[in-house]
Chain A
């Protein structure tokens, strides 16, 4: 009898350290399923960021390194230049990539580095305990904006996918969400496409995952998923922002 579902061998058989309701577990699983299905676990190298997912290498069954805060896409650049035929990705949160690491991600895209970045946007600094991120929504409360983010004080939240899609070298940019089973299935397709773009050597690719952080949002996991649909997706619309012709 053929099993309907099996855990992917791309994930190590251990519990993750992520909070209940956190999107990292789902994002990890989707990425590792895709790499496993491509038969490329043995020649994929990943870079983990600073943030809760610094320990992604404890869960992903591939060779990986950690990187300093915001620098993951620069590190992935170096790895890919040594192993141009390997799959190389950086996995970065919004504090890491959209704040301290903006320079590195923009220039990796400008150079058209043939790497893939998986960008987890939960609109908050998670590991440090819920401070405002560049992606924090207007009105959203965080420990460094306890009355909610204000446009006059903090400016508007940054839309990284839209911004990166203006760069010629960024050939595939898609934003997905992890809040419903349907969106999770679409997210997996986006991961597959981004990796295909890399395999074909077309340029830089990025998938932005709208994720949830129930712990720092002060919501239950179920309410957090609802909050994603009600508040995040309206400001961070899902879809493909850039794609090579014929893909």
Chain B
């Protein structure tokens, strides 16, 4: 491990990707992640990689699909409306079983919305805006160090699963500075000639192979397509237990359990301290993987102790449905939220939580 450095979020994300084995970057400018293509445009060529500025997000995700098909490790970044344009490609990548790592530095919506931080892409990334049945692992870090660690590991995760992996950050994380320890650079394959050893399924030319590789999505026969979709979901089911990640703070005896991810989790961790200092036992479940959504920490909550679970979100209430599904009616669920790019203060959440607790009791 190297020494601690102070880095801006968007640049730390890039550094983590390069050190994690990313050899290709494809992107298109969009706020609040434009520092990423800027950084990659000068860093990738210096570090033996390739930078491509695509003509659109449709171009980005499809160039990335080509890179992935050919066995290259590729990093793509965008922000909310750009991710919407990529949904066709994400559905296709899942169907064709091609890995890419995609970072969404999300902003507020709908439509053009605004450029301030939001978590309104929860549904877009966890439910998939593309057509058909597929799943994409989504990881939502809440500190820069966690983001660096997650991005660093994601190339191997995506390769292992042969599927896209999404990292969901937001404008706040992209723009803020925090000290991070950068991991040692690793190489997933030596050079172009080494790709067939690392990814025997990749398109590298049929020379020297016992069979030629074909990467496809189309299945003309319903029976074939059913087999394929069942295969994908069997793969997702097996991967779930390795992919699911979360953190819990003081949930055991808590009267109020907050559920928060990303930037909101940073604020809620302060909220818990304030409430505990006032004698109200409060805790937090922090999902790190948004798909698969962590169900286990909800099973551990007891209605005798926990009076209310509060989903705390920067949207109109999207994660709350996963919270409700996980609790299955055992404990009342409420929402504390702000939208439009407004991030609530610690005091605001404390007051609203106390009011909710009073109403429940």
Contacts and interface: CB of A to CB of B under 8 A. Distances in A.
Nearest to A86: B205
Contacts, number: 126
Given A82-B195, A103-B58, A104-B55, 14 more contacts: A54-B218, A55-B218, A62-B212, A65-B215, A67-B62, A68-B88, A68-B89, A71-B62, A77-B63, A78-B70, A80-B66, A81-B67, A83-B192, A83-B205
A44 B54 CA distance: 24
B205 A63 contact: yes
What's the dominant secondary structure at chain B's contact region?
mixed
A80 B70 CA distance: 8
A57 interface: yes
B216 interface: yes
A47 B203 CA distance: 11
B63 A74 contact: yes
A62 B212 CA distance: 7
Q: Which A-B residue pairs are the 8 nearest by beta carbons?
A: A78-B66, A42-B207, A82-B70, A107-B55, A74-B62, A65-B215, A43-B205, A75-B66
B205 A42 contact: yes
A228 interface: no
Contacts of A173: none
A45 B209 CA distance: 14
Interface string B137-179: 0000000000000000000000000000000000000000000
Interface string B205-231: 111100011111110100000000000
- Chain A interface bracket (under 10, 10 to 19, 20 to 34, 35 or more): 20 to 34
B24 interface: yes
Interface string B39-83: 000000000001010111011001111111111101000000000
A66 interface: yes
Interface string A81-106: 11100100000000000000001101
B346 interface: no
B122 interface: no
B204 A68 contact: no
A81 B214 CA distance: 19
Contacts of B58: 71, 74, 103-104
B66 A41 contact: no
Contacts of B50: 81
A110 B62 CA distance: 17
A64 B208 CA distance: 16
Contact of A63 (B65, B67, B212): B212
Contacts of B203: 45, 63-65, 79
Nearest to A110: B55
Interface residues of B, number: 41
B199 to A, nearest CB: 11
What's the dominant secondary structure at chain A's contact region?
helix
A76 interface: yes
A179 interface: no
Nearest to B52: A81
Contact of B59 (A43, A54, A57, A104): A104
Contact of B96 (A66, A81, A86): A66
A122 interface: no
Contacts of A61: 206, 212
A110 B66 CA distance: 18
B77 to A, nearest CB: 16
14 contacts: A42-B206, A43-B207, A63-B204, A63-B212, A65-B203, A66-B218, A75-B65, A75-B69, A77-B63, A78-B66, A81-B70, A82-B72, A83-B205, A103-B59
B92 interface: yes
A45 B206 CA distance: 9
B59 A66 contact: no
Interface in B183-204: 192, 195, 203-204
Nearest to B65: A75
